[in-house]
Structure 1
Amino acid sequence: MKSHSIRFWLQRVLLLMLVLLFSGSQQSFIIADAAPPVNAQASAKARQLLAYLSNLPAGMLISGQHDYLEAPDEQNNKLQQISGQYAGLHGYEFGGLANQSHTALREQRQHVVDSAIRWSEDGGIVAITFHQALPGTPKTWKNVQAKITQAEFNRYVTPGTSQYKQLIADLDEAALSLKSLRDADVPVLWRPYHEMNGSWFWWGNKQNYAKLWDLMYDRFVRVHHLDNLLWVWSPNAPNAYSTPYNQTFPGIHRVDILAADIYNNDYKSSYYTELLKLAQGKPIGIGESDILPSAKVLQNQPDWAYAMSWGKELSAVNSQAAIRHFMNQNNIITRELLHESFR
């Protein structure tokens, strides 16, 4: 009871501080203090969210949980059932991985949109990952991991080719669903073409990866006016299977947030310090993880803004006791705290 009471009051002190930061005249100060969104037309709520992430006190971490396209609330609800707390950030999937028909994929994305709107209304942060199958092929996991050469990749980012037209058609279809979130004024941490410094996705380790990133950015921002998106560049941790961050970085002018994917409890300090340097003051996060970061990791790496557990990995590699402990630490920001901050 005593530890619960201490946590309660520590959270309320933090809550008061965050509310003051984002109320009245203080809000304009905080937004000015943060790097502006890369999209000059970004919505007010997107700007507010980016400012919030940019100004989190060192050592505070927003908890996150990813869910799959076919069941967009399952793992997040499981986290709440185990720990008594909802994650502050809810990750969703937008890519078709099960050979869905066009109609089925649109319906599944609508379920994601509906859940994301409810989540945002309850004060939570929305993140969306896009595992895009190789354009022009069935939407399966195998085709997300299609092996293509550099020359083949070039055709997808060259205007006028049939491959380029297929890519644009896929992007335009995804944009239709994202527009529903824009119209509902839901800011989204948009996380496409992640782990690009590895070789397991069709967009991975390509010399001109930035062309693909820029193509999507220009299509979504200039054509579809998706001004609710904050752009998250999410490489794999530069381990034995991945290249250094800077080899596939599209440039600081094209990303709002940088988030490393870290598995197998491999929270090396170099992954953190190198990303922090590359970010030049922009927020950094843990885009995917399986084993939850320990208190020691978070103490030594205090500028992570959030950490998102990936799907079923949450309970596959973490005990229920470990999940409860993590979610109920004084420095972990849950949806309840976010709700009070953004209401």
Structure 2
Amino acid sequence: MVNLRPNLGGLLALALFSTGTLARVCKPRDVPITYEAEDALLTGTTIDTAQAGFTGTGYVTGFDESTDKVTFTVSSPSQKLYDLSIRAAAIYGDKRTHVILNNGAASEVYFAASTSFQSVPAGQVLLHAGENTIDIVNNWGWYLIDSITLTPSAPRPPPQINANLNNPAANSDAKALYAYLRSIYGKKILSGQQELSWANWIAQQTGKTPALVAVDLMDYSPSRVERGTVGTAVEEAITHHNRGGIVSVLWHWNAPVGLYDTEENKWWSGFYTRATDFDIAATLAAGPGNANYTLIIRDIDAIAVQLKRLQSAGVPVLWRPLHEAEGGWFWWGAKGPEPAKELWNLLYERLTVHHGLNNLIWVWNSVLPEWYPGDETVDILSVDVYAQGNGPMSTQFNELIELGKDKKMIAAAEVGAAPLPDLLQAYQANWLWFAVWGDSFINNVEWNSVETLNTIYNHEYVLTLDEIQGWRG
């Protein structure tokens, strides 16, 4: 089905038939072109006019089942990259949708809560010559879609990446790693995997070992240790470092206190907002001397012990605490951006200044500007993306370029599907590294087939462990 109402504004392309009637040209060219949702193919969705502010004759609603979607059919005279924006209204709160081009890779687009229709940047689409389909598929659902707009993408200018780490006392290990990362940024991507065991599994499947291994300090959280957990992440990190690899570290921080420990929310799920009544905003407002504040410091100091082990072993760390804060599903983000940023600054001061941890490269892990703690304490920007199809994740990449003003390197720190290198290059999505999550993702054909992993790990654009040996020099 070809959309019948592309709206080019003042630049509307019109063609004259011999009868004198006007026919609308439905092909993206060198100007923005808008396609109305009510003219697209609807699956499980309906047209409505109750919400004011729509363009055209209506908008599409009824995204409440997993298969509900609206399909736009657009033509392109040649293969070309376009910026995509979606005019949507998230009148029921923050939402996320999936965008799928030509039944291929899915990308995830965030709609901030709004009482009116807003144009939302939705990354890029690489249209091939001829007809293409763009699906907007339910995902979270409960939003309204008014239209999409395609604009030819401008060439991406060279990044102006900060030359130095923020910590003036950064040690030689951290400086060497940062310099190496700057040297490959935009030219190659580091392959990465969560957990050493799964990195070794990839080597068995592809003949190539990931350049980067990510580990989790979760089981060193005091509220878990007191219940019997024994962490092994530090040993795994040192093992990968000793074979010439690069290490990333996150921390699923089990709440210091207030774990529900019910049948629905066991104590080991205490990093989730749903599993604890720990209130970070109240704790920080109470300040030093408050019992819960003291527990926060206790926890940070416990993690500092483990990070010092890595520093003593000569391991520079891509340190990614407080990940996915803006989602709100972890307690450190449950009270909004201000407490999360304050906690980040407390972490930075306690670990860098108080504990003298100078092997850390600080990696922020959210895309929304209101959550950003600032350039002074962030060395690298990152995001976690769980979308099937092994796509380039260009929406989030573009959002992070905007957030960091193209002065910070950008990483796909946690993904469900490893990105295909040809798509990364075509979309100019120059991620510094990707790291696929472990069990149920890396070994799941719906997310990553062995064939796809072989394509990725044996591609010249992707750096593996054997190809980064000697990175310090």
Match of 1:333 among 460, 463, 470: 463
- Residues 291-335 of structure 1 deviation map (CA, whole Å, 9 limit, x = unaligned): 111234311134211001011211112111111111110110011
Separation (CA, whole Å) in 1 of partners of 2:345 and 2:400: 21
- In 1, Cα distance between the equivalents of 2:381 and 2:328? 19
**Residues 127-155 of structure 1: CA deviation (Å, up to 9, x unaligned):** 11100011124594431112499993223
Cα drift, residue 119 of structure 1: 1.4
Give the paired residue count.
296
Greater radius of gyration (CA): 2
Deviations 1:52-94 (A, max 9, x none): 2122152410000001xxxxx2211111111111101000010
Deviations 1:261-284 (A, max 9, x none): 111137543311120232232211
Distance 1:149-1:340 versus aligned 2 partners, 3 A rule? closer
Equivalences for 1:73-222 in 2 at 5 Å? 73-96=196-219, 100-102=224-226, 104-105=228-229, 107-108=230-231, 111-137=232-258, 140-147=267-274, 152-157=279-284, 158-204=287-333, 206-208=336-338, 209-222=340-353
**Corresponding residue for residue 304 of structure 1:** 431
Tell me, in whole angstroms, the C-alpha distance in 2 between the residues paired with 1:229 and 1:308.
18
**CA separation in 1, counterparts of 2:298 and 2:415?**
31
Q: 2:382 aligns with which of 259, 267, 271?
A: 259
The equivalent of 2:417 in structure 1 is 291
Distance 1:79 1:151, change over 3 A: closer
For 2:235 and 2:275, the matched residues in 1 are separated by 35
Q: TM-score normalised to the size of structure 2? A: 0.59
Say which is worse superposed, 205-214 or 89-98, in terms of deviation: 89-98
Aligned-partner Cα distance in 1 for 2:306–2:278: 31
Residues 151, 324 of structure 1: alpha-carbon distance in 2 compared, 3 angstrom cutoff: closer
Distance 1:259 1:141, change over 3 A: farther
Relative distance call for 1:103 and 1:198 in structure 2 (3 A) is closer
Q: Does the Cα contact within 8 Å between 2:255 and 2:276 map onto a contact in 1?
A: no
Alpha carbons of structure 1 residues 314 and 169: separation in structure 2 relative to 1, 3 Å: same
Number of the residue aligned with 1:233: 364
Contact 2:173/2:316 (<8 A) preserved: yes
Instruction: Quote how far apart the aligned CAs of 1:337 are.
Output: 1.2
Identity of aligned residues (%): 31
Indicate conservation of the 8 Å contact 1:91/1:126, yes or no: yes
Q: Which amino acid aligns with 1:338?
A: I
CA change 1:57–1:201 in 2 (3 A) is closer
The alpha-carbon deviation at position 171 of structure 1 amounts to 0.8
Q: Which amino acid aligns with 1:342?
A: R
CA distance in 1, matches of 2:255, 2:224: 14
TM-score of the superposition, structure 1-length normalised?
0.80
The residue type equivalent to 2:238 in the other structure is: I
Q: Which has the higher strand share?
A: 2
1:121 Cα deviation from its structure 2 partner: 2.1
Within 1, Cα distance between the matches of 2:209 and 2:243? Answer: 11
SS of residue matched to 2:233: helix
Q: What 5-or-longer segments of structure 2 have no aligned partner?
A: 1-160, 260-265
Greater RCO, CA 8 A, separation 6+:
1
Q: Equivalents in 2 of 1:231, 1:314: separation in Å?
A: 26
Give the CA deviation at 1:248: 0.7
- Tell me by how many angstroms 1:230 deviates: 0.6
Pair 155,334 (structure 1): closer, same or farther in 2 beyond 3 Å: same
* CA 126–140 in structure 1, closer or farther in 2 if over 3 Å, else same: farther
Matches of 2:385 and 2:355, distance apart in 1? 32
